[in-house]
Structure 1
Amino acid sequence: MKQLTKAEEEIMQILWEIGEGTVKDVLEGFVEKQPAYTTVATVLKVLKKKEIVDNKAIGNTYIYSPKISKEEYSSYQMKHLLNNYFGGSFKRLATFFAKDNDMDIEELEFMLKESESKTNPKK
């Protein structure tokens, strides 16, 4: 899987929400300022090339749909973050978030227990 740019991720968030749609449908999904039609069309073509979306032609219109789920991409992103910024250590990641979000010890212990149960299901 390839890393998405901010623009690609914004469009994917909309596609995950609507399931499938035309360029116009994606444009309608923007809450803030809408980008140009041609910009969205170009980004969707790039996402197709990256094999993140698929499309089907209906007449002279394309309907785009995600090839990967939001959960799959989220998992990829978290693994990327964990490996590239925290040396693959969930404990270092948890410590960072605990400090950054002023978590109390109970919340931190819960996170660590959850991570242990996921990696060692027999515990």
Structure 2
Amino acid sequence: MTMARRAKTKETPELADIGLGELEAAVMQIIWEKNINTVKDVFMELYPKRRLAYTTIMTVMRRLAEKGVLEQDRAAKTYYYKAKVSQEDMAESMINSVVDKVLGNVSADIVIGIIKKHSLTSDELIALERKLGSAK
């Protein structure tokens, strides 16, 4: 498949500046989980649950490309999309953004409270310890 045209997108999105609305997040979830890459495919996946117009999904995906979250390529009359940002990077950025806005400087007590609430497994705690050690 030859890609003829690319949409104007940000080269490297500043993740801290990107917020996703509810529908944008639903579209990205489908793209990340199912590796779907056309508007039609995303529309078919969402329609049974949300009954949205095809053009609504098309607009959301175009705007995600403009934000730099999706890469948009065109072959003939079809646009193909792929994620430019991993689900993990997006989640980390959004969490950090909320924490910064709501809590400012995070104390160790808040982090410990979050860890306790989510009941991490031993393996997850070990991985967290390693990450904390490398972040020093």
Q: TM > 0.5 between the two?
A: yes
> Is the 2:72–2:79 Cα contact (8 Å) retained in structure 1?
yes
Q: Which amino acid aligns with 2:19?
A: Q
Q: What is the aligned residue count?
A: 114
> Is the 1:54–1:64 Cα contact (8 Å) retained in structure 2?
yes
Scaled by the length of structure 2, what TM-score is found? 0.68
2:63 counterpart (42, 46, 49): 46
Q: Secondary structure of the residue that 1:64 maps to in structure 2?
A: strand
Q: C-alpha offsets along residues 15-54 of structure 1, whole Å, 9 cap, x if unaligned? A: 1123242111001222512311000000011111101111
> Is the 1:86–1:92 Cα contact (8 Å) retained in structure 2?
no
1:86 counterpart (103, 113, 117): 103
Q: 1:71 to 1:112 in 2, by over 3 A?
A: closer
Question: Could you say which residue in structure 2 is the equivalent of 1:27?
Answer: 43
Percent identical pairs in the alignment equals 27
Q: 1:62 to 1:112 in 2, by over 3 A?
A: closer
Q: Which amino acid aligns with 2:131?
A: K
1:75 counterpart (92, 95, 98): 92
Query: Would you say 1:66 and 2:83 are equivalent positions?
Result: yes
Give the alignment of 1:90-105 within 5 angstroms.
Answer: 91-95=109-113, 98=116, 101=117
Question: Could you say which residue in structure 2 is the equivalent of 1:13?
Answer: 29
Gaps of 5+ in 1: none
RMSD: 2.6
1:114 and 1:65 map into 2 onto residues whose CA distance is 29
1:5 and 1:20 map into 2 onto residues whose CA distance is 19
Scaled by the length of structure 1, what TM-score is found? 0.74
Q: Secondary structure of the residue that 1:95 maps to in structure 2?
A: helix
